[in-house]
């Protein structure tokens, strides 16, 4: 198992960069904020009007974008209280942190505070160590992924991976991403215009890779350069007999290993241990657990919310958004 202890202090996500904040302003009606925590670490924070009927009218909820994009250090009581003081209409939300934890012991019971309720839990991200030789990497894959990758290797002369910011190539990726988002029923938060993609690629730390099979673009991914490695931030692919979703990871892994050391982060699942998480684990990625904070502010709740109902909602994927 790969050790990722060096991520404790400096691991960041592409979703935590200013370039992504500018790119993704459509995620919420209100602009993203850069919020300074008590340890003076800035992280992106989105605010939006709540649609949950359990909150009082004109309540706000907050969230940090995706995985490992919040504060490096976060005190669940003091820092959440500071958030509530800064935004008086804040009714709840969740903060994803960059704090790597012991996944077994990170989950804690719901905590009652002076301003509401807080729940701390772990969330799993999957990381691949760059630089392994082919045999070592193949041995780390689950049997199904290993079988599929070996098939790709047999025909790898038919494939070409290109690193590009060519206008026509960006357009090809946009088309492929749009097709993938419809086929996989992406939420509105993950649907972007071609203009937004062009804006993102003006930042040198964001790179577009396209995979061609017999000269046809069959997959693409957006990779961000982060501290100590790379973040596999977005991807799109055609369905095909060669399993292009695995093929692009294989060719990208080889390319990055030839250029740099460190890791390639594949992100996590939509929920813990779902099919997406199992896919990433099957590709030889090691699980890394990080801390997430969910909270609800009592004085923004409607009076008819029972404690039992509140506890149920706090266990849900998103708390009362």
209 Cα distance to chain centroid: 18
Task: With respect to residue 29, please indicate whether it lies within any of the assigned structural domains.
Answer: yes
Q: Could you tell me if residue 270 is inside a domain?
A: no
Query: Which letter does DSSP use for residue 148 in this model?
Result: H
State pTM to two decimals: 0.81
70 and 174 in one domain?
Answer: no
The residues near 264 (Cβ < 8 Å, ≥ 6 apart) are: 127, 128, 130, 229, 230, 232, 252, 253, 256
Total domain count, the chain? 2
Of the residues 245, 261, 277, the one at which a domain ends? 261
Q: Which residues are bridge partners to 301 per DSSP?
A: 55
Structure tokens at 244: 């292009």
Provide the pLDDT for residue 228. 82
**Residue 319 maps to a domain:** no
- Give yes or no: residues 136 and 74 share one domain: no
The CB-side HSE value for 69 (13 A sphere, CA atoms) comes to 25
Print the domain residue range for 30. Answer: 7-126+289-314
Q: 13 and 31: one domain?
A: yes
Taking only the tens of pLDDT, the chain with its 321 residues reads 222 222 233 445 666 666 776 776 654 444 444 444 433 455 667 778 888 888 899 998 887 765 545 566 678 888 889 888 888 999 998 887 777 777 666 677 888 899 988 988 888 889 999 999 999 999 999 999 999 999 999 999 999 999 999 999 999 999 999 999 999 888 776 788 898 899 889 988 899 999 999 999 999 999 988 778 898 989 999 987 789 999 999 999 999 999 888 999 998 887 788 899 999 999 999 998 888 888 999 899 887 777 777 777 777 766 667
Q: Indicate if 115 and 171 belong to the same structural domain.
A: no
Domain presence at residue 39: yes
Residue 184 lies in a domain: yes
Maximum alpha-carbon separation in the chain:
65
> Is 272 inside any structural domain?
no
Non-local (6+) Cβ contacts of 304 within 8 A are none
For residues 73 and 177, membership in a common domain is answered with: no
Residue 197 and residue 110 share a domain: no
Contact 305, 91 (CB under 8 A): no
* H helices present in the chain, as ranges: 7-10, 18-23, 78-86, 134-140, 143-154, 167-183, 194-200, 244-259, 275-282, 307-314
Cα 259 to Cα 162, 192, 216, 268, 284, distances in angstroms: 14, 29, 25, 24, 20
What are the backbone dihedrals phi and psi of residue 289, each rounded to the nearest 5 degrees, phi first?
Answer: -100, 135
């Amino acid at each position: 198992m790969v050790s990722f202890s060096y991520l404790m202090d400096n691991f960041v996500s592409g979703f935590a960069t200013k370039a992504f904040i500018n790119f993704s302003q459509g995620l919420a009606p209100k602009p993203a904020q850069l919020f300074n925590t008590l340890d003076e670490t800035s992280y992106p924070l989105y605010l939006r009007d709540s649609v949950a009927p359990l909150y009082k009218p004109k309540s706000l909820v907050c969230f940090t974008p995706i995985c490992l994009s919040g504060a490096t250090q976060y005190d669940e009581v003091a820092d959440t209280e500071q958030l509530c003081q800064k935004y008086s209409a804040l009714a709840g939300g969740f903060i994803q942190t960059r704090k790597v934890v012991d996944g077994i012991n990170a989950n804690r019971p719901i905590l009652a505070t002076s301003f509401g309720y807080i729940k701390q839990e772990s969330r799993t991200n999957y990381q691949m160590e760059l630089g392994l030789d082919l045999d070592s990497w193949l041995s780390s894959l689950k049997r199904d992924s290993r079988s599929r990758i070996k098939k790709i290797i047999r025909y790898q002369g038919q494939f070409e991976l290109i690193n590009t910011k060519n206008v026509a190539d960006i357009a090809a990726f946009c088309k492929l991403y749009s097709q993938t988002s419809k086929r996989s029923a992406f939420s509105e938060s993950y649907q972007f215009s071609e203009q937004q993609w062009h804006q993102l690629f003006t930042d040198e730390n964001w790179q577009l890779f396209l995979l061609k099979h017999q000269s046809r673009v069959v997959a693409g991914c957006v990779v961000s350069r982060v501290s100590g490695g790379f973040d596999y931030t977005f991807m799109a692919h055609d369905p095909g007999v060669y399993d292009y979703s695995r093929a692009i990871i294989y060719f990208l892994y080889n390319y990055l290993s030839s250029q740099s050391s460190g890791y390639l982060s594949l992100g996590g699942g939509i929920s813990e241990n779902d099919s997406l998480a199992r896919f990433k684990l099957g590709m030889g990625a090691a699980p890394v657990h990080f801390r997430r904070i969910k909270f609800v502010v009592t004085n923004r709740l409607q009076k008819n919310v029972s404690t039992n109902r509140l506890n149920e909602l706090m266990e849900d994927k998103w708390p009362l958004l």
